[in-house]
Chain A
Amino acid sequence: MNINELILEFIDGSSTPEMDKSLFNELANNEVAQQKLKKFIEIENSFVTGNSYFQPSAESVNQVFTQLGFKKTGLFGALPFLQSNFIRYSVPAVMTTLMFVFTYNYFFNDDDKNNLTNSKNNLATFTSPQINNVIETNKNNDLNNGMGKNNKLSKINENNLNNISNNTVKYIYKEKFVAVGNNGNMQYFDNKDDLKEYFDSNLKNETPEKSKFSFQNVIEINESDIFENSLSITNLNNNGLNNFENKEYSNLSIKEESNFEFTINFFPTFDLKSSTMNPEKLSSFNQLGFNALYKVTDKFKLGLEIQQETFLQKFEEDDEFNRTLIYTQRPNFTNIGAVVKYNILDKIFVYTSVGTNTEFSGVYNRVRLGREFYNIFPLDFDAGIEHSALHYSFNNNRYSSFKFGIFFGVKF
Chain B
Amino acid sequence: MSTLDRPLRGATVIVCCGSGGVGKTTVAAVIGIELARRDQRVVVVTIDPARRLADALGLADGLGAEPQRIDLDVPGELWAMMLDTEVMFDRVVRANAADAEQADRIVQNRFFRNMAGALSGTQEYMASEALHQLHGDERFDVVVVDTPPSRHALDFLEAPGVLARFLDHKVFKLLMLPTRSGLRVLNTAAQPILRAIGRVVGSDVLADAVAFFQAFAGMEVGFRDRASSVMSLLISPDTRYVLVAAPRHDTVDEAVWFADQLRARGIGVSAAVVNRTHPRFGSGTAAEAAEQAAEEKDPATAALWTNLAELRTIAEREREAVAPLDDRLDGAALVEVPLLAGDVHDLDGLVEIGTHLFKRRSVPAAGRR
Is B a genuine binding partner of A?
no
